[in-house]
Structure 1
Amino acid sequence: MIHGSEANTSDRRRCGLTIRYMAPTTECLDASQPVMMMRGSAVEGINHYRSWPKYRHGYDFPFDGCEQWNDRRRVEPNDESYFERTDYARMDQEIEDEVLRFIGRLGGKEPVQKE
């Protein structure tokens, strides 16, 4: 669902979240979509499951239990290099660029090239 909101005037990033639940016997056909195992057991050959994201103090918004989150999160060892990144400004720019490209494909405004 596409929706709109007022501009984010804070100095913190704002993002949206889409959650889709499916049985582990269901294959996600878009390999670029991160699939996370929230409950149950993986079925061999159906999907590659991502680690649960790390909480990064000072970057992510704090939440109840954030202090214990990293000790409790589900980890897929082959996937952890993504969560080791600390180049937050570049990560934010990559996310913004991807979102703007997506909006452009939907017929929205094309991204403005930064100099």
Structure 2
Amino acid sequence: MNFELMVDGEVLPEVSVQILSKSVASIDDDVGSFIVLEPQTPLENSIYLQAALTDGDYMVETRLVFGEEFSHYHYTTSDVEEVTDIFVAYYRDNKIPDLMRWDNVTGEF
């Protein structure tokens, strides 16, 4: 499956596990610092995985689309390795995170 990786608003020319790992590690606590990994076609209804850092915590989000409806989830962690693992599994294994541990924040949209 093909993916597009955006880092701090710039689309990178290629995606690999190494580039993805470096991109997660490069997120800093700045409004303009974020990454978005978007599959060419929805992955188990997920249209993207994104992350940003605020006050030492990573906010990881994904959105699942079902026709005209959607569900939006977020997960907070301070562990950069956990965030990297989530992104690598999404990219390499085409696997969305276990959303049972995530907060459904669809009502905020």
TM-score, with structure 1 as normaliser: 0.27
TM-score scaled by structure 2? 0.27
Higher relative contact order (CA 8 A, sep 6+): 2
Larger radius of gyration: 1
Task: From the two aligned structures, give the one with the greater strand fraction.
Answer: 2
